[in-house]
Chain A
Amino acid sequence: MTWLAFILILVALVAFVAGQLFLKHAMESSTATGLRDRKVIFFLCWGVLSMTIHFFVTLGLLAHLDLSYVYPFQGLSVIIISLAAAIVLREKLTAQLTIGALLISAGIVLVSLS
């Protein structure tokens, strides 16, 4: 793997995790304030921007590498998102959820190594 590919994979991963957190936070707030609230729209925009960056960087990677090779790098995003949801969004993370998320992450990373 070239350095360019490595950096682009990292950019895609960070954009993806940040995007999910923004979107969850926006939708969570919307249950109380409705979708037209300024704060909800603000976080939705950041979420969509992050996901757009993720989309185009992923397209660029897919042009050169196999889908079953590129995509599973997002496996790491499972455990990162679960931890970030617990820390940033204060979700209750049980031992069972953590073990499940770790297994899913490990499984996807294992797939990506082959």
Chain B
Amino acid sequence: MTKTHNHPSGVANPWLQLWLSVVCVLIYELLQKRGATETANLSENWSWTGITALASPLVWLAMVLMIISLLSWLYVLRYIPLSIAFPLSRLVDVLIPLSCWLILGEHISPRRWLGISLVVIGLAIVAKPVARLEEKL
């Protein structure tokens, strides 16, 4: 197991980089959705491959954010075990439906709210021992 206490502080703190990665993923997913929908009617045969989405500048911006999130994620992986970092990175799965609801105006059903609550509880369970570990140091 990677030692969690042996990491740099400040901007180089891997937990801060995990946050940065999550925010970048959230924004690029929303941009992808906008870009892919805008270009879906360009060619019925090719749109399933995703190639047509390249016609949208939003998709290119999404790719830049994707590269930033990938780099910060790689940095996170250097210091934090995958079985801790990956579940925590799924905070985006709470933030994405909430943003779809707030920004894209998509509907959230009661069942979906329940699912979001389960994710939040799971995140808290994974994050708790980590927070305790960090406090001690």
A: which residues have CB within 8 A of B?
A: 4, 8, 20-21, 23-24, 27-28, 30-31, 48, 51, 55-64, 66-68, 71-72, 74-75, 77-78, 81-82, 85-86, 89, 91-94, 96-97, 99-114
Is B65 interfacial (CB-CB < 8 Å)? no
Indicate if B115 sits at the interface (CB-CB under 8 A).
Answer: yes
Given contacts A56-B49, A63-B40, A63-B48, contact A97 B87 (CB under 8 A): yes
Given contacts A58-B32, A59-B50, A63-B53, contact A71 B123 (CB under 8 A): no
Dominant secondary structure at the A interface: helix
B114 interfacial contact with A, CB 8 Å: yes
Alpha-carbon distance A48/B27, docked complex (angstroms)? 20
Chain B contacts for A78, CB-based, 8 A: 86-87, 90
**A-B contacts, 12 listed (Cβ < 8 Å):** A8-B48, A27-B78, A58-B50, A59-B36, A67-B100, A74-B93, A81-B82, A91-B81, A92-B81, A100-B124, A104-B118, A107-B116
Determine the main DSSP class of B at the interface with A.
helix
Task: Say whether A59 contacts B53, CB under 8 Å.
Answer: yes
Take A20-B82, A97-B84, A114-B112 as given contacts and tell me if A27 and B48 are in contact as well, using a CB distance cutoff of 8 Å.
no
- Would you call B50 and A114 a contact (CB within 8 A)? no
Contact A111 B37 (CB under 8 A): no
Question: Which of A31, A74, A85, A112 is in CB contact (< 8 Å) with B83?
Answer: A85
> B115: which of A8, A31, A86, A107 is its contact (CB, 8 Å)?
A107
Contact with A along B3-15 (1 / 0, CB 8 A): 0000000000000
